[in-house]
Amino acid sequence: MAPAILLCLVAAVQVCLTRTAHLTPWKGGGFGMFSTNDDGLTRSIGVRIHGPEGNRLASIPGSLARDAYHAELLPSEGRLSELGRELAAIERAKGADIHKVHIAVWRMDYEPEKLTPHPELVREVIVHLDAPAQRQ
């Protein structure tokens, strides 16, 4: 009886996370993998960095690729905020003056009748940063 209860518990947690935390249905037990094409590979992260000279698009450096992939699969506010802070730290180490980082996770969705693709926002977070310490 214990394996059946455990399996039902895993399924319930996975369904809950897909509805509340935007977990891709293919992860967390994979019970929704046959119901959608949202497998994580159709998701992408867009990053915009804001500073005194305006805002610009930024790419995820290789050192944060694994964190970005996990954020695409389960884009919780905490995970995206941490990714934004880590990205800001890297940019500031290069000398950039950054006030905030805007991170958005998108997935590809398709119109039911014509299967026309269109991006759909999964979750976005704006990380407001403290002013960097003055260098002596």
Q: List the domain boundaries for the chain.
A: 1-36, 37-136
Q: Report percent pLDDT > 70 for the chain.
A: 85
Tokens 């455990």 correspond to: 6
Tens-place pLDDT, residues 53-90 = 889 999 999 999 999 999 988 898 999 999 999 999 99
Pairwise CA distance, residues 56 & 74, whole Å: 25
Pairwise CA distance, residues 10 & 23, whole Å: 14
Q: What's the pLDDT score for residue 128?
A: 94
The pTM (predicted TM-score) of the whole model is 0.76
Q: What is the mean pLDDT of the chain?
A: 85
**81 residue type, one letter:** S
